[in-house]
Amino acid sequence: MARKTKKQRLRIVHPRCAGIDIGSREHWVAVDPEQDDTPVRRFTTFSDDLYRLADWLQSLQVEVVAMEATGVYWIPLYETLDARGFQVYLVNSRATRQVSGRKSDVLDCQWIWQLMSHGLLTGAFRPGDAVCSMRAFVRQRAGKVQEQSRCIAHMQKALTQMNVQLDNVVGDLMGKTGAAILRRIVAGERDPHQLAKLRDGRVRADEQTVARSLHGNWREEHLFALAQALAHYDFLTQQIVACDQAISQALTALPTLSAEPAPEPHKPFRKAHRTAAQQKQLHQALHAVMGVDLCAIPTIGIDTALVLASEIGPDLSLFPTQGHFCSWLGLAPPTHISGGKPLPGRKPKTFNRASQALRQAASNARRSDSFIGACHRARLARMDSAKAIKATAHQLARLIYSMLTNGQAYVEQGVAAFEARSKDRQLRSLQRKAHKLGLALVEAA
């Protein structure tokens, strides 16, 4: 007769915890029924009720709070509880999905509390409050840059409707030549030859070709749309400058990890919205805050380093290994395996701004004369472009993790080191094949 074994039960990991179901108008909070006669309570989203919620949890000596990441409604409550000293877990809604059955706000908050009490929930990564403040400014600036790109598309549409083919002879519509011509058109100039005199010497098309492209019908409704798009573009430029000032102030508020001057970049920074002095100042500030120079890694520019500094910060202690960090970025290989076989279908898509920045940096590695560039070109030779970009972004993520956790500077190995390593790998492969066939390799004289 089989021996009966004692049933294993889930043990309590967090005895003093709370679960919160987030809503736009009200929050439902559940605690241990043994701690309070009314273990489930409802609070509105007004600030005074949020303070009452925190006071109630403090009176029960609650230490850990779990809540779902519902839209942006969780942010005020998260910041309130975090300021009171609670350990707040921001969990994914997929992790708190209930079994089939009844569903209500009361049951949801009780289910979250139950999962949290047994330690079955993990919190999302969120950097420190000062880094989050800088992250908000960086994201605001990125939104303004995207709006500017839409303004350029509107200007190009207005020119096409007037049959003004300026974008076919000028590479950058808002470059020196294109911007000067557009402003003269909005000011009232219609003579193509007078407008063509504004051509910069670096433009490949000659002055006659530029003049031919500036013949149009000049309809009033299209000129009106062009003027409004240009005015909106100028307004966004001012807002981007204000965002840069706010980012600089947020960087100065962060603790300094390195007082040494930032090394000179391997390539000069090029960006339209910042001067060379501003680029140098931002480079120095990022080096001081992060403790290492991320721009020393090929294909990572000042904007990519700024996104990484604002999204992850200098402290990666919440990620035990490189694998945890790359998995959070969505760059690690998927592990959807059951029965020893990969499961069909794709893994859920994750939106990660740091991962997007690394993918963009990886796509620029095709022409990079560096060790990373050589690795990326070798990947492109044996796999499709999307997989190669993801693999190179994974390589960049591992480098960044090592630099931030160990405080080590990046050392460029060069293309020659990659070629030597590739040659050794090919030689070992040939030796294995020759050994299986009972042959031996002989070096040519």
pLDDT of residue 215: 92
pLDDT of residue 4: 53
pLDDT of residue 93: 80
Tokens for 248?
């600089």
69-89: pLDDT as tens digits = 888 999 999 999 999 999 999
What mean pLDDT is reported for the chain? 89
- Nearest Cα neighbor of 415 from 380, 376, 377, 369 is 369
Query: Sorting pLDDT into bands at 50, 70 and 90, what band is 227?
Result: very high
Q: Percentage of the chain with pLDDT > 90?
A: 59
Query: Sorting pLDDT into bands at 50, 70 and 90, what band is 14?
Result: very high
| Range 149-162 average pLDDT | 95
pLDDT of residue 69: 87
174-187: pLDDT as tens digits = 999 999 999 999 99
246-262: pLDDT as tens digits = 999 999 989 888 878 77
Question: Exposed, middle or buried by CB within 10 Å (0-12, 13-18, 19+), for 64?
Answer: buried
More confident: 146 or 368: 146
- Phi–psi pair at 20, nearest 5 degrees: -125, 130
DSSP state of 231: H
More confident: 13 or 418: 13
Alpha-carbon distance values, 314 to 165, 303, 310 (Å): 48, 16, 9
| Range 237-248 average pLDDT | 93
pLDDT of residue 238: 95
Distance in angstroms (rounded) separating the CA atoms of residues 30 and 13? 17
Q: At 155, is the secondary structure helix, strand, or coil? A: helix
pLDDT for 134 beyond 90: yes
Distance in angstroms (rounded) separating the CA atoms of residues 303 and 300? 8
pLDDT of residue 424: 87
329-378: pLDDT as tens digits = 999 877 777 777 777 766 667 788 999 999 999 999 988 888 899 999 99
3-state helix/strand/coil string of 361-376: HHHHHHHCCCHHHHHH
pLDDT of residue 1: 43
Show Cβ contacts of residue 120 under 8 Å, excluding neighbours closer than 6 positions: 10, 95
Tokens for 146?
């995207």
| Range 422-427 average pLDDT | 87
| Range 141-146 average pLDDT | 94
Least confident of 40-44, 80-84, 432-436, 439-443: 439-443
Q: Is the pTM of this model over 0.75?
A: yes
pLDDT for 52 beyond 60: yes
pLDDT of residue 270: 66
pLDDT for 59 beyond 50: yes
pLDDT of residue 20: 94
